Amino acid sequence: MSGSLDTLAEGGIAVSEKTAKSNGWKAGDTVAVTFEDEKKGKLKVGAVYEDNEFLSPVLVPKATADAHTSHPEIREIYLKMEGGASEANEQAVVDALGDNPAMSIMDRQDIRDMFGGFVNMALNIMYGLLAMALIIAVLGVVNTLAMSVFERQQEIGMVRAIGLDKRRVKRMIRLEAVVISVFGALVGIGLGTFLGWAIGQTLAESVPQYALVIPWDRLALFLVLAGLVGVLASLWPARSAAKLNMLTAIKTE
């Protein structure tokens, strides 16, 4: 860290390394700012601190912020105590502030677990939606193949007449189903990855340790599952196509 956080008591501000680098700031610079009430002013950068996922990219003295806020409030207080996070220190904070049910005392790991819980809940919701989408996709593939078989009865009858047996007719329908399912999965994975990257870029500014991780093994598993779904969805249409009477199918217009 460059500069000193003591300058906050003198009306200065502290900024993260990433924010300082992106704006070309350094400790000692005076920068133009716009407050919450749209008023403009100039503040001195008193310190540049290492990026921290728990801190805002810009730290402003409470007195300065309150002067431009209609409803001043304190939502979070960060404490650095001797001995680090311990039950004794937690009890000391409770004794000092009172046992208020609206107050939560958390250490770094507790905060990470809280945000991890939010992420896991969001993932569980997404997996639930994915399961619903999978059911709809199966019905869609079944309907598409059934309509395809109905519309191509004459063609199926002709290929049966020139020597294509029932087993190969079923294989042909299954192959169509697999192609449809895998193609849809590829499009979905591509769009989902792009949207994940785009949303991640908006989070990267506020979460310094953010990094995009693509689960290639899971994506490969989804592709395999898409193929299996295609095979399952083709069972009834393939059986219907194989049971068509050749002469009746050829006469169909």
Boundaries of every domain in the chain: 2-78, 108-251
**Cβ proximity of 157 and 252 under 8 Å:** yes
* pLDDT, tens digit (0-9, with 9 covering 90-100), for 72-107: 777 777 777 777 777 777 777 777 777 777 777 777
Domain 2-78 classification at class level: mainly beta
> H helices within 47-165, ranges in order?
62-66, 87-97, 108-151, 153-161
Q: How distant is the alpha carbon of residue 135 from its chain centre?
A: 22
* C-alpha 139, offset from chain centre: 27
Higher pLDDT, 195 or 98: 195
Cα distance between residue 238 and residue 146, in whole Å: 8
pTM score over 0.85 = no
Look-up of token digits 């003198």: 10
Least confident of 34-48, 79-93, 211-225, 231-245: 79-93
Position with higher pLDDT, 28 vs 128: 128
The structure tokens listed for 210 are 């953010």
At 153, which amino acid appears?
Answer: Q
Query: What region does 237 belong to: left with phi over 0, alpha with psi -120 to 50, or beta?
Result: alpha
